[in-house]
Amino acid sequence: MMFYSLGVCAWRYRIAGLVITLGITFLVILMGSHSLESSLKIQEKQRSDQRRSPPKGLALNLLQTRTRSPPLVFLKTHRTGASTVQNLLFRMGEKDMATFAFPRQGFHFSYPNKFQIEFVDELPSGSEYFDILSSSLRFDVSQLKTLMPSDPFYAASARYSAATYAASARYSAVIHAASARYSAATYAASARYSAVIHAASARYSAATYAASARYSAVIHAAS
């Protein structure tokens, strides 16, 4: 009986020791996980701060003094992907709340006439000057200098000359064919309209003549 009691006590001590060991191990793992998570968060924050911080040297001074994007004049060139660049500028300018110089009428500045300030729509209220000009125009540097703020950035898109010429020729052929089809359809519609009007006029003239003859006969009989 005494040996049985001693065995039970020994098993109790073993189980208690095992439970205590497991508890300590769990606490150590929990503390290590928390410490590792905190360390990873600190490292991620440091990397994020490094990505946000501007480069050192001259670029740092430029970024500190410049509070907005410099004024831009984009010179669109035909069949060189300029419309795609223009759309990107529209999105960039909308994001930065830039002021665009838009044509007063249409979608270009009275091309092929040389650019004049009168072709530009009025400056919106609350804006000091135009930030971006990207619509089609015929270049006139003196007028652009008068319109835009001092020292704007001029940019343009270019393409290999042979490819540009071929693309322009295909574009012109498509436009010419579409214009020819439109002219033919317009002529046919005008011809049909003229025929209808002529037939209606002929019917009206015949009916008027018959009515006049009947009226004259009635008047003659009455007389």
153: β partners: 72
Q: Using alpha carbons, list the distances in angstroms from residue 171 to 74, 86, 175, 178.
A: 22, 19, 6, 11
Name the nearest CA neighbour of 79 among 151, 150, 175, 148. 175
pLDDT confidence of residue 62: 43
Are 138 and 77 contacting, i.e. CB atoms less than 8 angstroms apart? Answer: no
pLDDT confidence of residue 53: 54
Q: Which residues, 6+ apart, have CB-to-CB distance to 171 below 8 Å?
A: 78, 79
pLDDT confidence of residue 166: 79
Over the chain (223 residues), what is each successive 10-residue block's mean pLDDT?
A: 55 73 80 75 71 50 55 89 92 91 92 92 91 93 92 88 77 67 62 64 62 62 66
Both structure tokens of 127? 């804006």
Helix (H) / strand (E) element for 74: namely: strand 72-75
What is the pTM for the complete model shown? 0.48
Name the nearest CA neighbour of 73 among 65, 82, 64. 82
Report how far residue 147's alpha carbon sits from residue 145's, in angstroms, rounded to the nearest whole number: 6
Q: Using alpha carbons, list the distances in angstroms from residue 73 to 19, 93, 106, 133, 208.
A: 76, 13, 19, 5, 68
